[in-house]
A and B are shown apart, each in its own frame.
Chain A
């Protein structure tokens, strides 16, 4: 994978207020093409809010989101998706009453040019496109080890598989940058380890750059570099896993937070 001079993606002075709460506060960082960048930080640090701004769900109070050099902040989510940013959600958001296959085919369909009348009449061309897309959707499920569950309703899957299905659906938008919000939440150490491998595989296979939020430190320390640390909406530290681990501010933030929570 080529690393360009300019970062694939960067955030500059991003700020978001929610009725007086400063969820994100002049936050800036870059993501290099081909990297797996991790975002860590205590609960309520503003990590998910950053994802929500980047994907157009929230409008930032101020600041810029640059993707391939273009400021995309404030654009509609579906346009941002089309530009090449996809995501998963911390609190899983699948199309619950649809099959796994249908979950994945939804984004595949949206990328196609279909004739409206042809679709309504069910012309052979429309049928063929539908079959091809189902095949591609099945292929994506296979890549994530979900092919056995293809026809099952999404909300009947176990939790860990639902997270994988979300990744499959995100990949179906053909992203250049994939945002994963706590992909290992609710997984045991073994599942977490296999997810780490899967994420690394996905990066290779789909040539995506990955930005992920995680609380599982072993996963982050193993596969992410660099790591960005957020606290109270601001950038606390940025560096390799070792640098971050030894940073006294980071240690303090985590210990301080743990005390608060107890």
Chain B
């Protein structure tokens, strides 16, 4: 029971980070192979606060999320300016992910590469569920707001979006900050669940897994990536695959999704829409 519980909690924590990345990638159309670094910033910030300074857990969580947001601003401001090129950002975030690991490994307060043990385990199932539910609700509201609508417009066509009055740079930056805050929150929860964090937990591998969940779950969907994230965490555990086969199982799953659902599980749609009435057959586009 404890074992299953811990898998569910881990999956929910992962889902919060995936939710954030899906706002940035799935809805704004920008790719990132570095969002695990924001998880790391959130994890270390909140853990250090509760561990060394006995800051109450909710405040530490909030501080971790905020720290991730601030760090994302520092990366986003110089790199998201380029109008039609998102590669500057992609490279910068990749570099930042690696730089963060080096920094964490060489600081005293983070206890270097050995990691920080003995963090209080404040993260319980109810805490995680509340955070996840709140996160989904806020994400949904965000995507219906002026800014979310602007993000989606940018994904669809940045030039047309600008001509609709969307501020390209600001909106992309906002999307990044929002996604980083989600990742930071996820990190804070993770640190206080595992009671132990280490720099290698927040590297390119984890960033890749976050992005894989978003892509496999489907661009432009909230529910798809959440399902994918849950499956990616839970399935290898449930099947009790030996550690060495875990990545293979994971890869296989990705390949299967790519083959059978190239648009991802829920590309550009939501789970809730399956239960609604089917819309009228659309008129075919003329050549």
Contacts and interface: CB of A to CB of B under 8 A. Distances in A.
B196 interface: no
B126 interface: no
Interface in B218-273: 220, 268
A232 interface: no
B164 interface: yes
Most buried by A among B149, B280, B283: B149
Interface stretch (B10-18, B88-96, B140-148): B140-148
A70 to B, nearest CB: 18
Contacts of B220: 97
A120 B145 contact: yes
Given A95-B153, A110-B166, A120 B146 contact: no
B286 A159 contact: yes
A60 interface: no
B150 interface: yes
B150 A97 contact: no
Contacts of A109: 145-146, 149-150
Interface in A98-154: 98, 102, 105-107, 109-112, 114, 116, 119-122, 126, 130, 149, 151-153
B167 to A, nearest CB: 5
Nearest to A172: B164
A140 to B, nearest CB: 13
Contacts of B146: 109-110, 112, 114, 119
A93 B149 contact: no
A152 B280 CA distance: 9
A86 B163 contact: yes
Contacts of B164: 81, 106-107, 110, 169, 172-173
Nearest to B220: A97
B163 A96 contact: no
A250 interface: no
Contacts of A95: 152-153, 156-157, 160-161
Given A97-B156, A122-B141, A130-B144, 6 more contacts: A89-B160, A112-B146, A126-B141, A151-B279, A152-B279, A173-B164
13 contacts: A76-B162, A77-B163, A78-B166, A106-B161, A107-B164, A114-B146, A122-B141, A122-B144, A126-B145, A130-B144, A156-B283, A158-B286, A159-B286
Contacts of A102: 149, 152
A57 interface: yes
A153 B149 contact: no
Contacts of B283: 149, 152, 156-158
B138 interface: yes
Contacts of B167: 76, 78
Contact of B147 (A86, A119, A156): A119
Contacts of B137: 122
Contacts of B147: 116, 119
B157 A93 contact: yes
Interface string B115-157: 0000000000000000000000110011011110110110011
B141 A119 contact: yes
A257 B46 CA distance: 70
A212 interface: no
A119 B142 contact: yes
B141 A87 contact: no
Contacts of A89: 159-160
Given A98-B156, A110-B164, A114-B146, A156 B285 contact: yes
A94 interface: yes
A157 B199 CA distance: 51
A87 B164 CA distance: 9
Contacts of A55: 163
A21 B162 CA distance: 26
Which 8 pairs show the lowest CB-CB distances between chains A and B? A110-B165, A119-B145, A156-B282, A95-B156, A93-B160, A77-B162, A107-B164, A109-B146
B26 to A, nearest CB: 12
B150 A120 contact: no
A106 B158 CA distance: 13
A106 B165 CA distance: 8
Contacts of B168: 78
A109 B150 CA distance: 8
A193 interface: no
Interface string B151-194: 01100110111111111100000000000000000000000000
